Amino acid sequence: MSKAFVRTEFHPDLPPPASESGPIAWLRHNLFSTWYNSLATFFVLYLAWLVIPPVLDWALFSAVWEANNYKECKAGGTGACWGMIDKRFDLFMYGFYKAEDHWRPNLAIIVFIIAMLPVLFDKLPGRRMCAMFLILGYPAFTVALIRGPIEMSSFNSTMGIALWVVAFVAAAYWGHHNAKKFNAVQSGIGYAIAYIILFIVFIAWGMGLTPTETDTYGGLMLTVMLAGVGIAVALPLGILLALGRRANSMPIVQMLCIGFIEIVRSVPLISVLFMAQFMLPLFMPEGIKFDNVMRALVGFSLFAAAYMAEVVRGGLQAIPKGQFEAADSLGLNFYLNMRLIVLPQALKIVIPGIVSTFIGLFKDTSLVSIIALADLLLVAKQSYTDSNWLGLEHTAYVFIAIIYFCICFSMSRYSMYLEQKLHTGHKR
Amino acid sequence: MKALKLLAATAALAVVSTAASAATLDDVKKKGFIQCGVTTGLAGFAAPDDKGVWKGFDVDFCRAMSAAIFGDPMKVKFTPTTGKTRFTALASGEIDVLARNTTWTMSRDTDLGFEFVGVNYYDGQGFMIRKSLGVKSATELNGASVCIQTGTTTELNLADYFRTNKMSFTPVVVEDSAEARQNYDKGACDVYTTDRSGLAAQRSVLSEPDAHMVLPEIISKEPLGPLVRHGDNKWGDLARWTLNVLISAEEMGVTQANADSMKTANNPEIKRMLGTEGDLGAMLGLGKDWGYNIIKAVGNYSEVYERNIGPKTPVNLARGVNALWNKGGILYSAPLR
Amino acid sequence: MTIETVDTQPKPNLLNDPKVRAVIAQIVVVVLFVSFVSYIVSNTAVNLEKLGIKAGFEFLGLQAGFMPTSPNFNLTGFDVSKDTHLDVFYLGLVNTILVSVLGIIAATIVGFFFGVLRLSSNPLLRFVAAAYIEGTRNIPLLLQILVWYFAVLLALPGVKQSINIGDMFFLNLRYLVIPAPIFEDGFGYVVTAIIVGIVATVFMVRWARKRQEKTGEQFPVVLAGLGLIIGLPVVTLFAVGVPLSWDIPALKGFNFQGGVQVISQLTALFLALTFYTGAFIAENVRAGILAVSHGQTEASYALGLRPNRTMSLIVIPQALRVIIPPVTSQYLNLAKNSSLAIAIGYPELVNVFMGISLNQTGKAIEIIGMTMGVYLTISLLISMFMNWYNKRVALVER
Q: Using one digit for the tens of pLDDT, what is the confidence trace for C117-135?
A: 998 888 899 999 999 999 9
Alpha carbon of A5 to those of A1, A8, B142, B280: distances in Å? 13, 9, 102, 129
Please tell me which residue of chain C has the smallest CA distance to B182: C150
Task: Spell out which residues of chain C touch residue B179, defining contact as CB-CB under 8 Å.
Answer: 343
Report which DSSP code applies to A78: S
The band of C251, judged by pLDDT with boundaries at 50, 70 and 90, is confident
Interface contact B12, partner C, CB < 8 A: no
Residues B62 and B149 in one domain: no
Determine the residue of chain C that is closest to A367 in CA distance: C142
Residue B4 pLDDT: 44
In the predicted structure, residue C368 carries a pLDDT above the cut 60: yes
Of A40, A394, A404, the CB nearest to C122: A40
Using an 8 Å CB-CB cutoff, list residues of chain C that contact chain B.
50-53, 65-72, 80-81, 150, 154-155, 158-159, 173-174, 252-255, 264, 342-345, 347, 351-352, 355-356, 358-360, 362, 364
CB contact under 8 Å between B170 and C358, yes or no, is: no
Domain boundary among B220, B254, B273: B220
pLDDT digits (tens, 9 = 90+) for C76-130: 888 888 889 999 999 999 999 999 999 999 999 999 999 989 988 888 999 999 9
Most confident of A249-253, B109-113, C12-16, C372-376: C372-376
The answer to whether residue B218 scores a pLDDT higher than 70 is: yes
Q: Which residues of C touch A377 (CB under 8 A)?
A: 140, 142-143, 146
Domain identity same for C279 and C324:
yes
* DSSP letter assigned to residue B310: S
Q: Which of B11, B175, B178 sits opposite A370 (nearest CB)?
A: B175
B279 and B249: one domain? yes
pLDDT mean values, one per 10 residues, chain A (428 residues): 77 80 79 83 92 92 87 85 89 89 92 87 80 86 87 74 87 85 76 87 84 86 93 91 86 91 92 88 76 87 93 86 86 80 82 89 92 88 79 89 95 86 56
Within 8 A of C381 by CB-CB distance, chain A residues are none
| Banded model confidence at residue B11, pLDDT cuts 50, 70, 90 | very low
H-helix segments, chain C: 18-51, 85-117, 123-137, 141-146, 187-215, 221-226, 232-239, 264-291, 294-302, 307-309, 316-337, 349-351, 358-361, 364-395
Q: At what angle do helices A292-318 and A269-278 cross, to 10 degrees?
A: 140
Q: What is the pLDDT of residue B1?
A: 40
- Residue B166: left if φ>0, alpha if ψ -120 to 50, beta else—which one? left
Distance from the Cα of A49 to chain C's closest Cα (Å) equals 13
| pLDDT, average across residues B168-179 | 81
With an 8 Å Cβ cutoff, are B52 and A96 in contact?
Answer: yes
What span, in angstroms and rounded, lies between the C-alpha atoms of B88 and C359? 11
User: CB distance C50–B175 less than 8 Å?
Assistant: no
CA dist C374 and C353 (Å) reads 12
Strand partners of residue B223: B122
Nearest CA in chain B to C172: B188
Residue A198 contacts B where some CB pair is shorter than 8 Å? no
The pLDDT of residue C10 is: 61
Q: What is the CA radius of gyration of chain C?
A: 29
Residue C339 lies in a domain: yes
Distance (Å, rounded) from C-alpha B264 to C-alpha B271?
Answer: 7
Domain that holds residue C32: 14-49
At residue B6 the predicted structure's pLDDT band, cuts being 50, 70 and 90, is: very low
Nearest CA in chain B to C157: B187
Based on the fold, state whether residues B215 and B130 are members of the same structural domain: yes
| C309 assigned to some structural domain | yes
Question: C-chain residues within 8 Å CB-CB of B177?
Answer: none
Instruction: Evaluate whether A94 touches A212 at the Cβ level (below 8 Å).
Output: no
pLDDT at residue C216 in the model: 79
Q: Are C65 and C49 in contact (CB under 8 A)?
A: no
CATH of residue C136: 1.10.3720.10
Say yes or no for a CB contact (<8 Å) between B20 and A287: yes
Q: Does A333 touch chain C (CB under 8 A)?
A: no
Question: DSSP assignment, residue A137?
Answer: I
Query: Do B108 and B88 fall into the same domain?
Result: yes
> What's residue C52's pLDDT?
67
Report d(CA B323, CA A112) in Å as an integer: 58
**Percent composition of chain C: helix, strand, coil (DSSP 3-state, to 5):** 70, 10, 25
Burial status of residue C288 (CB atoms within 10 A of its CB: 0-12, 13-18, 19 or more): buried
Instruction: State whether residue A286 sits within 8 Å of chain B by CB.
Output: yes
pLDDT band at B2 (very low <50, low <70, confident <90, very high): very low
| Side-chain-side CA neighbours of residue C159 (13 Å) | 23
Domain's final residue, options B220, B241, B269: B220
Q: Do B207 and B180 sit in the same domain of this protein?
A: yes
Domain assignment present for residue B332? The answer is no
Q: Does B3 touch chain A (CB under 8 A)?
A: yes
**CA-based nearest distance A119→chain C, Å:** 24
**Between chain B and chain C, how many beta carbons pairs sit less than 8 Å apart?**
96
Higher pLDDT, C52 or B43: B43
Q: What residues in A contact C343, CB-CB < 8 Å? A: 370
Looking at residue B14, its pLDDT comes to 41
Q: Scanning every residue of chain B, which has its alpha carbon at the shortest distance from the alpha carbon of A393?
A: B182
Identity of the residue in B17, B21, B85 whose CB atom sits nearest the CB atom of A153 = B17
Distance separating alpha carbons of residues A357 and A285, to the nearest angstrom: 33
The verdict on a CB contact (< 8 Å) between A381 and B93 is no
B182–A170 CB contact, under 8 Å: no
Q: Please indicate, yes or no, whether residues C303 and C368 belong to a single structural domain of this protein.
A: yes
Average pLDDT over residues B134-145: 87
Q: Which amino acid appears at position C16 of this protein?
A: N
Residue B18 lies in a domain: no
Contacts of A393 in chain B (CB under 8 A): 182
DSSP H or E run through B148:
strand B145-149
Would you tell me how many other CB atoms lie within 10 Å of the CB of residue A218?
Answer: 26
User: Of the spans B121-125, C270-274, C291-295, which averages the highest pLDDT?
Assistant: C270-274
ipTM value of the model?
Answer: 0.87
The whole-number pLDDT of residue A2 equals 65
User: According to the model, what pLDDT value does residue B17 have?
Assistant: 36
Phi, psi of B81 (to 5 degrees): -125, 150
Q: Is the dihedral of CA C359, C365, C369, C372 positive or negative?
A: positive
State the pLDDT at residue C6: 54
Q: Which amino acid makes up residue A336?
A: L
Which of C18, C48, C368 is nearest residue A278 as measured by Cβ atoms?
C368
* Count: domains in chain B: 2
Query: Is the domain of B113 the same as that of B246?
Result: yes
Q: Which of B220, B249, B269 is the last residue of a domain?
A: B220
* Distances A232 to A238, A245, A297 between C-alpha atoms, Å: 10, 20, 11
- B40 in A contact zone (CB under 8 Å): yes
**C134 and C34 in one domain?**
no
Number of domains present in the structure of chain C: 2
Q: Are residues B264 and B135 in the same domain?
A: no
Is residue B129 located within the same domain as residue B118? no
Is B237 found in the same domain as B177? no
Contact B156 C66 (CB under 8 A): yes
Residues B242 and B117 in one domain: yes
- Using CB atoms, pick whichever of C154, C159, C360 lies closest to residue B186: C154
Q: Which residue of A has its CA nearest to C330?
A: A266
Q: Assess whether pLDDT exceeds 50 at residue B139.
A: yes
Q: Distance (Å, rounded) from C-alpha B190 to C-alpha C254?
A: 8
Q: Domain for residue B6, yes or no?
A: no
**Facing residue for A250 by CB, picked from C22, C43, C142:** C22
Can you tell me whether residue A391 is helix, strand or coil?
Answer: coil
Q: Are C102 and C28 contained in the same domain?
A: no
Return the higher-pLDDT residue of A3 and B320: B320
Give the model's pLDDT for residue C173: 87
For residue C44, the distance in angstroms to the closest alpha carbon of chain A comes to 5
- Could you read off the pLDDT of C377-397 as tens digits, one per residue? 988 888 888 778 777 766 554
Helix pair A219-245, A251-266: axis angle to 10 deg: 150
Task: Tabulate helix, strand, coil % of chain A (nearest 5).
Answer: 75, 0, 20
| B235 plus B95 within the same structural domain | yes
Residue-wise DSSP of B219-286: -S-EEE--EEETT-HHHHHHHHHHHHHHHHHHHHT--TTTHHHHTT-S-HHHHHHHTSSS-HHHHHTS
Q: In chain C, which residues have their Cβ closer than 8 Å to the Cβ of B113?
A: 50-52
Contacts of A214 in chain B (CB under 8 A): none
What structural domains does chain A harbor? 88-97+215-428 (1.10.3720.10)
Q: What are phi and psi of C47, to 5 degrees?
A: -65, -40
- In this predicted structure, what is the pLDDT of residue C14? 66
Question: Does one domain contain both C97 and C33?
Answer: no
Chain C residues with CB-CB distance to B188 below 8 A: 154, 173-174, 264
Verify that B242 and B261 share a domain, yes or no: yes
Do C287 and C339 sit in the same domain of this protein?
yes
Instruction: Answer whether A247's CB lies under 8 Å from A313's CB.
Output: no
Cβ contact C174–B171 (<8 Å): no
Answer yes or no: is C297 within a domain.
Answer: yes
Domain interval for residue B147: 125-220
Q: Cα separation of A422 and A255, whole Å? A: 33
Relative to beta strand B170-174, strand B145-149 is parallel
What CATH number is given to the structural domain containing B299? 3.40.190.10
